[in-house]
Structure 1
Amino acid sequence: MDKNGNAPGEEAASGSVPSTAGPAPRHLPGHIAAALAGAGGPADSAGQPWQGRSLAGDDGKVHNFEDDDGTADAGYLAAVTALRNGSGDEAAVIASLATARVFIPIIAQLAEEAEGAGALVSDKQADMALVMLKAADGRNAMPAFTSAKALADWHPDARPVAVYAPRAALSAVSEEAELLVLDPGSEVTFVVRRPALWALAQQRPWVPSYLDGEVAGSIADAAARFPAVRNIGLLPGAGVASATGTGETLPGGGAGPELQVVLYLEDGLDAAAVQELVAGLQAAWSRNVLFGERVDSIEIKLRRAVQ
């Protein structure tokens, strides 16, 4: 069960397509609004209209980023390639985002008619809306795209606003999103979970909870108050892995649960005693600030301690 009470093994979907109901109008974060204004509103900063534009080739130049042709960041692609061939890990993918440019999709949303003086009705106005997804476990997720082509393939009507990935993470946090979904609907969709999202927004390194020595220490300290727990093991949770569009399994990019806690218990406990012990441990972990900041979701496995 995760810290929100979700059942073990329950995973959040990355959301491969936008909601058919369309995004609700949302106030744009300041830097997103500034980037959009800098792109010239209905035209880019070079005065070329967005309407009818291709996002490939020379038409895909992103004028807010000099010499940007809209392709994915080379460092991110290298980190994903290493993840796929087993020479890298998900922490390296997150680290590559620290200097990577991504695209936030912005969609024109028709606003309500406004009444003017003398009961005259003004023309309808188009508001610019951030696109938000809803994960399978109910959490908010913000999509971002590593290339202009990936965004156009996902939603042809969305306008790409180029920002650095830490800025995108800040936007996600300000919108109360707990997940940043990179390239939904693409061959590789990578989910940045809440602890990594916060670290990226703060521009500090991120260590997965299953490799975090301080997390292990806080878990062990809580377990020390329960004599029936003889030992503890920390492993990547079942939700760390993700699948590519062709069915290849990647050891990273999943939505959770991210941490598997293996409890090795003394023999002779009945079901009620085990349930009480697990509930007590979860209550202790939930009160730990460090645990709350660095652990997104957990699953608990019970094992009999070796005598």
Structure 2
Amino acid sequence: MARAQAARAKMQRLLSSPTPFSGDDGAADPAVTRALDALDAGSRPRHLLLERLWSALAASRVIVPVEAHALPARTRPAGPTGPGGKAPTHPVHTADASRDAATLAVELPDGHIALPVFTSAGAMLAWRADVRPVPVEPRRAAVVAYEHTDQLWVLDPGTRDLRLPRPAVVALAGGEDWVPSWRSTLIQDELTAQLSGLEGVTAVAFAPGQASELRILLRVDASAGRGAVADTLAACQEVLVNPAWGELIDTVELVPLPA
């Protein structure tokens, strides 16, 4: 009896204790909405607006979707409540909503797997009506994306389908500031050192990408003919497919320029 009373008292304390999101009404954070509206309007260069959006997301909360019974890892014990005197053996949740949400990870057009993350309960409802919204800290959602997906978020799938660059998610998971590759001197210096050492590359420059995160402008010696240029570009690709770049640069476009 004493043990049961202690357990009941502990549960009451847990239920009565405040949570960071106890008053959350499911609406989007105004700063996030403003950043998304600016991105839609194209009022400034896209790469600058992405940085603004990341900062707004990092300072807010996000919503992850959780199914009624998401995980198959555990089952409820038998009891007198189900048909035939046994309790249903459906899966139950973990204590981590973000980890539960990883079971609903979505495949992006390029084949990568991303964690679905929402700015509001309404955006999640537009995606699927059979899941419930759970507000979480952005860093926790980023950690789960890092551990259980291809280190990616897709923001408001079904409406915006906005892919947050992998390095932005990695930085958020680590509690660090995101320094995008298009303005990171460390990344650019290392890329320049590796690419400039290849035969045929005479100069390297960088810019924010249009269809990708980073645009690499390569001055290539064309005096030896198309075959030599093709070999040079293939060697550049070999450098860039190194998995070590994956957490530093999401996507790259090479732009060769004749020397």
1:181-260 alignment, distance < 5 Å: 181-186=154-159, 188-239=160-211, 257-260=212-215
Residues in 2 aligned to 1:294 and 1:263: alpha-carbon distance in whole angstroms: 20
Other-structure match for 1:100: 60
- TM-score of the pair, normalised by structure 1: 0.64
User: 2:203–2:219: 8 Å Cα contact kept in structure 1?
Assistant: yes
Other-structure match for 1:300: 254
- What percentage of aligned pairs have identical amino acids? 29
**Alignment equivalent of 1:280, drawn from 235, 243, 249:** 235
SS at match of 2:149: coil
- Post-superposition CA distance 1:58-115 (Å, at most 9, x none): xxxxx75143221111221122233334245211111111121111101124869999
For structure 1, list consecutive stretches of 5 or more residues without a partner in the other structure: 1-36, 47-62, 240-256
User: 2:168–2:178: 8 Å Cα contact kept in structure 1?
Assistant: yes
Other-structure match for 2:23: 67
SS at match of 1:108: coil
Other-structure match for 1:172: 145
Which has a greater percent of helix? 2
For structure 2, list consecutive stretches of 5 or more residues without a partner in the other structure: 1-10, 79-83, 94-99
Residues in 2 aligned to 1:113 and 1:293: alpha-carbon distance in whole angstroms: 36
Residues in 1 aligned to 2:114 and 2:173: alpha-carbon distance in whole angstroms: 15
Deviation at 1:127, TM superposition (A): 3.7
User: 1:222–1:285: 8 Å Cα contact kept in structure 2?
Assistant: no
The aligned amino acid for 2:235 is: G
- TM-score of the pair, normalised by structure 2: 0.75
**Alignment equivalent of 1:76, drawn from 32, 46, 59:** 32
- Post-superposition CA distance 1:183-223 (Å, at most 9, x none): 1122x442212111100111211122122222221121112
| Structure 1 vs Structure 2 CA RMSD | 3.2
Which has the higher relative contact order, 1 or 2, with Cα contacts under 8 A spaced 6 or more apart? 1
SS at match of 1:137: coil
The structure having more radius of gyration, on CA atoms, is 2
Other-structure match for 2:88: 123
Residues in 1 aligned to 2:77 and 2:60: alpha-carbon distance in whole angstroms: 44
The aligned amino acid for 1:229 is: V
